[in-house]
């Protein structure tokens, strides 16, 4: 039987192996420990300040505080736009066990509408659970009282007060002031592009139209900040520091609210526009577009039903007719056309033509009719303006041509933006050969020129353009920029600098201004003047020009408004200024589909001038 071989252990080899493992382990531990110590040094020494700042940012938050919006006054210091305290019903969602049941209960108590509930649920999705969410943004006094009595039943719900824009004169100033409303996605995109998003961190509303939008930066102010300490859930524990916001700047407008209200009364809800302007300075004393709407509806969030009613209205109340309405200027531009003829040499102050009631382009059959079918007889430039002879200006347009008409009339601002301080403005159309080719791909015909010669055809203008053109004649060439703003009371002490006016319009023969002015004076003073009845026995001297813009082309038949659809009837137009020698105020009045300018619009100008001069005496 073979013996089993027994292997002897090599203790020296095992000891050497164990020792080497101990050394390797020790080195590994040292490396790990060194790594930990180096990382600890990096965190505690090298990056101490950075991590301290980040820690504080997690612990300390900056809560933006909204600034109070600047106020708006008229030229006499009467408040036109203020910040009025309103009450909102707010909820802290994480304090409510059953939100749906709570909303049902509040609906019974406060008569919440479906729109209110829908808006609340939209806001609820965007807010964190421990932050206030508005259920109702404009509580009435009775709703505040009802909830206050029952508040103990609604933990986590409270009534809070905040300032909201309020327009005490309602729809009288809508198209001049505009309005503020909640910031939407389009506003946010615009603010991002302008780099102004941070300024609106605590602001819910922004100017949407008119003065409120144009001077938004002036009115908004600078936000403040509240430094607060929060817990790990983001809930505020305590307030550390407050930097108060800087309120917006107050604005003073050129508008006189007394004239504004009188102009609104003159329109009486009819479609049209009125602009009252100081000819030498461009100060807009009144600007009204009718029909209008109450801007306060938009401040608290207009309902879909009310907005659709405005949007779908045939009267288009959302359009600012004073700056966006396009109307044929008709005979109101005959004084400017007369100046063109005098400057060009096509006529002189002594030029006489025989007005037989029509004009005919040589070698054609079509006759362009005068408003007075039997004509005005022998007339010169003065009587042509006074009696508004179409035939005289047909002949003038034929001799001058469209190229010179376009060039000269753009100097009066037609076809251009006036520079008025609202963004809602159109430049309308001062037609030319190039314009017609680009628009219709057709050549310009002589018949087109004849129609433009009485402010018809392709020519369109806005009331503010007509007001500016009339002011240029009244002031003998001064071209101030029409402005609603009068002064800005800067919170930092800066001084408002008015807009620089355009260079004066200079004529080759300055006496030609007087020819046009004398013709306009005859409109309201001469026995054959078209507006003599409207300005009879006025206590001041005045000048004006009536216009009746045709919207429906007639053939040889006589115009009969009763046989024409109401919206196709003539527009009544009138421009005027007073006093005649040293003009202080000009008026531009457009009444849509109202008929003759001298019978319908001129009396309104007279009443507005009476109010202006009566107020001046009182002051």
DSSP secondary structure of 192-238: HHHT-GGGGTT--EEE-SHHHHHTHHHHH-B-EEEEEEE-TTS-EEE
501 in Cβ contact with 480 (< 8 Å): yes
Give the position of tokens 């004076």: 521
Q: How many residues does the chain have?
A: 619
204 in Cβ contact with 64 (< 8 Å): no
357 in Cβ contact with 372 (< 8 Å): yes
The pLDDT assigned to 89 comes to 87
68 in Cβ contact with 163 (< 8 Å): yes
pTM for this one? 0.84
Tell me the C-alpha to C-alpha distance, in Å, between residue 175 and each of 75, 179, 318, 328, 425: 17, 9, 8, 22, 11
135 in Cβ contact with 71 (< 8 Å): no
The pLDDT assigned to 554 comes to 45
Letter string b/e over residues 270-304, b meaning 16 or more CB atoms within 10 A of that residue's CB: ebbbbbbbbbbbbbbbbbbbbbbbbbbbbbbebee
Residue 368: which H helix or E strand, with range? strand 367-369
- Per-position DSSP letters for 11-24, written without gaps between them: HHHHHHHHHHHHHH
The mean per-residue pLDDT over the stretch 21-41 comes to: 84
Q: How far apart are the C-alpha atoms of 219 and 81, rounded to whole Å?
A: 11
Q: How far apart are the C-alpha atoms of 592 and 604, rounded to whole Å?
A: 14
pLDDT, one tens digit per residue, over 343-356 is 999 999 999 999 99
Q: What are phi and psi of 117, to 5 degrees?
A: -70, -40
Q: How far apart are the C-alpha atoms of 120 and 115, rounded to whole Å?
A: 9
Lowest mean pLDDT among 121-135, 153-167, 385-399, 420-434: 121-135
- With CA atoms as reference, report the closest residue to 511 among 283, 286, 342: 342
487 by Cβ neighbours in 10 Å (0-12 / 13-18 / 19+) ranks as middle
Question: Can 331 be counted among the known catalytic residues?
Answer: yes
Which two tokens mark 353?
A: 């033509």
- With CA atoms as reference, report the closest residue to 337 among 431, 453, 450, 446: 453
Number of helices (H), then strands (E), in the chain: 22, 20
The pLDDT assigned to 233 comes to 58
Angular region, 330: left φ>0, alpha ψ -120 to 50, beta rest? left
Handedness of CA 338, 344, 350, 353 (dihedral sign): negative
Answer yes or no: is pLDDT of 556 > 50. Answer: no
Q: Choose the catalytic residue: 289, 331, 388, 389.
A: 331
- DSSP letter, residue 273: E
The pLDDT assigned to 131 comes to 72
Q: How far apart are the C-alpha atoms of 255 and 286, rounded to whole Å?
A: 5
Cis peptide before 105 (omega within 30 of 0): no
First to last CA, the chain: 145
pLDDT, one tens digit per residue, over 603-612 is 999 999 999 9
Q: How far apart are the C-alpha atoms of 443 and 433, rounded to whole Å?
A: 7
207 in Cβ contact with 180 (< 8 Å): yes
3-state secondary structure of 458: coil
pLDDT, one tens digit per residue, over 323-379 is 999 999 999 999 999 999 999 999 999 999 999 999 999 999 999 999 999 999 999
Q: How many CA atoms lie within 13 A of 533 on its CB side?
A: 7
The mean per-residue pLDDT over the stretch 268-282 comes to: 96
Residue 560: which H helix or E strand, with range? none
pLDDT, one tens digit per residue, over 507-545 is 999 999 999 999 999 999 999 999 999 999 999 999 999
Answer yes or no: is pLDDT of 87 > 90. Answer: no
The torsion angle over the Cα atoms of residues 347, 351, 357 and 360, rounded to 10 degrees, is: -50
345 in Cβ contact with 509 (< 8 Å): no
Mean pLDDT across the chain: 89
Q: Which domains are delineated in the chain? A: 63-253 (3.90.1310.10), 257-490+497-618 (3.40.710.10)
- With CA atoms as reference, report the closest residue to 227 among 243, 207, 213, 209: 243
CB-based contacts of 293, cutoff 8 Å, min separation 6: 171, 174, 310, 317, 318
pLDDT band at 567 (very low <50, low <70, confident <90, very high): confident
The pLDDT assigned to 6 comes to 58
Q: How far apart are the C-alpha atoms of 449 and 504, rounded to whole Å?
A: 27
Which two tokens mark 78?
A: 């009467």
Which tops the pLDDT comparison, 44 or 589?
A: 589
Answer yes or no: is pLDDT of 386 > 50. Answer: yes
Which tops the pLDDT comparison, 484 or 65?
A: 484
The pLDDT assigned to 256 comes to 97
3 by Cβ neighbours in 10 Å (0-12 / 13-18 / 19+) ranks as exposed
Q: How far apart are the C-alpha atoms of 218 and 433, rounded to whole Å?
A: 43
Q: How far apart are the C-alpha atoms of 72 and 251, rounded to whole Å?
A: 5
The torsion angle over the Cα atoms of residues 312, 317, 319 and 325, rounded to 10 degrees, is: 110
CB-based contacts of 560, cutoff 8 Å, min separation 6: none
CB-CB neighbours of 160 under 10 Å: 12
Which tops the pLDDT comparison, 291 or 143?
A: 291
Q: How far apart are the C-alpha atoms of 145 and 164, rounded to whole Å?
A: 20
420 by Cβ neighbours in 10 Å (0-12 / 13-18 / 19+) ranks as buried
């Amino acid at each position: 039987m073979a013996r089993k071989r027994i292997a002897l252990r090599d203790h020296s080899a095992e000891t050497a192996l164990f020792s080497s493992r101990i050394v390797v382990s020790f080195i590994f531990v040292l490396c790990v420990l060194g790594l930990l110590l180096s990382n600890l040094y990096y965190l505690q020494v090298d990056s101490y300040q950075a991590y301290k700042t980040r820690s504080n940012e997690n612990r300390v938050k900056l809560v933006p505080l909204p600034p109070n919006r600047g106020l708006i006054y008229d030229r006499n210091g009467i408040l036109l736009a203020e910040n009025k305290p309103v009450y909102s019903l707010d909820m802290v969602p994480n304090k409510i066990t059953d939100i749906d049941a709570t909303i049902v209960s509040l609906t019974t108590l406060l008569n919440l509408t479906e729109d209110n509930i829908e808006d609340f649920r939209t806001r609820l999705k965007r807010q964190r659970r421990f932050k206030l969410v508005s259920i109702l943004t404009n509580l009435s006094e009775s709703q505040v009282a009802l909830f206050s009595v029952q508040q103990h039943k609604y933990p986590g719900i409270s009534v809070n007060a905040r300032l909201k824009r309020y327009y005490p004169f309602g729809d009288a100033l809508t198209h001049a002031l505009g309005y503020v409303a909640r910031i939407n996605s389009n506003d946010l995109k615009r603010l991002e592009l302008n780099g102004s998003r941070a300024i609106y961190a605590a602001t819910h509303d922004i100017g949407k139209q008119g003065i409120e939008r144009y001077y938004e930066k002036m009115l908004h102010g600078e936000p403040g900040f509240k430094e607060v300490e929060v817990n790990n859930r983001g809930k505020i524990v305590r307030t550390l520091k407050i930097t108060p916001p800087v309120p917006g700047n107050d604005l003073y407008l050129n508008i006189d609210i007394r004239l504004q209200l009188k102009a609104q009364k003159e329109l009486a809800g009819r479609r049209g526009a009125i602009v009252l302007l100081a000819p030498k300075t461009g100060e807009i004393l009144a600007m009204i577009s009718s029909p209008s709407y109450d801007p306060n509806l938009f401040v608290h969030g207009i309902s879909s039903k009310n907005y659709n009613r405005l949007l779908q209205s045939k009267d288009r109340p959302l359009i600012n007719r004073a700056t966006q309405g396009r109307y044929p200027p008709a005979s109101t531009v005959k004084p400017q056309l007369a100046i063109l003829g005098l400057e060009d040499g096509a006529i002189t102050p002594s030029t006489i033509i025989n007005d037989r009631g029509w004009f005919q382009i040589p070698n054609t059959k079509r006759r362009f009719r005068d408003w007075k079918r039997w004509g005005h007889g022998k007339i010169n430039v003065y009587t042509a303006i006074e009696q508004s002879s179409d035939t005289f200006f047909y002949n003038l347009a034929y001799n001058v041509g469209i190229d010179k008409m376009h060039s000269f009339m753009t100097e009066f601002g037609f076809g251009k933006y006036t520079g008025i301080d609202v963004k809602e403005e159109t430049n309308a159309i001062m037609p030319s050969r190039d314009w017609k080719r680009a628009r219709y791909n057709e050549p310009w015909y002589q018949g087109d020129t004849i129609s433009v010669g009485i402010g018809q055809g392709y020519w369109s203008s806005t009331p503010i353009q007509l007001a500016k053109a009339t002011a240029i004649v009244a002031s003998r060439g001064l071209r101030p920029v029409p402005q609603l703003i009068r002064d800005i009371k800067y919170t930092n002490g800066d001084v408002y600098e008015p807009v620089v006016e355009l260079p004066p319009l200079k004529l080759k023969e300055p006496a030609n201004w007087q020819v046009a002015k004398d013709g306009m004076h005859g409109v309201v003073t001469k026995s054959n003047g078209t507006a003599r009845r409207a300005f009879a026995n006025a206590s001041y001297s005045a000048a004006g020009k009536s216009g009746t813009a045709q919207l429906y082309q007639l053939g040889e038949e006589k115009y009969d408004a009763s046989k024409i659809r109401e919206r196709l009837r003539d527009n009544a137009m009138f421009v005027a200024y007073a006093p005649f020698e040293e003009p202080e105020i000009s008026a531009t009045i457009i009444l849509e589909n109202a008929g003759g300018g001298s019978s319908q619009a001129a009396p309104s100008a007279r009443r507005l001038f009476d109010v202006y001069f009566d107020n001046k005496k009182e002051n």
